[in-house]
Structure 1
């Protein structure tokens, strides 16, 4: 987010998008756990709670390096006794809900902006702020600022969801990967010990966000899928 300080409206949109993404992800995942019968014996309240749903490293990563993440859901917290598919559905519901919400915001921007459109949207291009191509009277003043703000929210949600699918803890992509294993062997358990208990997963994610300094590797990775999908909204 700090990369976008040169465009305050975009920065504000990215901040709001992170808050929305963490809240929506956590709430939808808890709803899904109850819906598929995998809620813990001591049910956690469905409503969003900052202390329970924010991750300190995720917040730091969001402020300095990029999309960030919410509090991870450990694989032991989601039982597989009713099938791996239900467990995978829990982990997939969070990022999918955020991804769908991002498309709603981008659709609102596309339908309501008339002569204001996103210019070359991709994770790499927008990390410094949303660039708009504006023409005509409708592209002036507060209208353009509103469109930039909404577009930044949409792009921020999109990047959060895409990033959350990377198969490293504490991201939900790790839960999806673990759910795909019929019977995790010793190698998988060893990897889990290093990545989860020794926080190697967090260290790798932070390294991807900060190195190299010109264009962090995480944006290069997200661009492979993100650029074509976000490009749909540029016309």
Structure 2
């Protein structure tokens, strides 16, 4: 077991800070591990991860190691910090929660790089947002039907339905996708996670999905076979579509109030 020394200081970590809001909701939402965005220190990329169980575990890991040469080795001197929100200082390897929020930080090598700050906001969602549609004239929808935009968890969404399948399932399966309209304008490191119950044609599971600026939609190319869709799910050329959404957490860039 490695030996560590504990240090209390006023200056905040130089390289990375992460604020986790509503910390207790991590386990309630089934998020057992959170991996931060990458940050640069000593000309290498790093990231942190937190795991919750009976104890909170914090790890520092190098990112992008596949590009390093064979038999690479990096000697690092680093510290993991936890912000004491009552005393307004930083302590290694001890946890502090105030109003269900906590702040972790990290330093690697020499304190010289610009600090990266991200905020993880977990949401209390007692009742999922439900949205349903009656889709008339199913046989005349064309290549794709796109719902009107709706708002759930302070973000805009729509649903895309391909009656004859998307490009991968053309003529075989109906395809359905949920799109986060707002995510196309997210910063590179911003993201949000939702729990979603899909339209109930042939799926009953609840899914947990991250949306980013590069992953703006999610769903099923093979949602239901076209032949099966026509057996009871389409009546008088109409079908009904319903989805449940809960936005559980949002990760964003955020200034940190401590100016040290």
- The question of a shared fold, defined as TM-score above 0.5 by the shorter chain, is answered with no
Superposition TM-score, scaled by structure 1 size: 0.25
Larger RCO: 1 or 2 (CA < 8 Å, sep 6+)? 1
Which structure would you say has the larger Rg? 2
More strand by share: 2
Higher helix share: 1
TM-score under structure 2 normalisation? 0.23
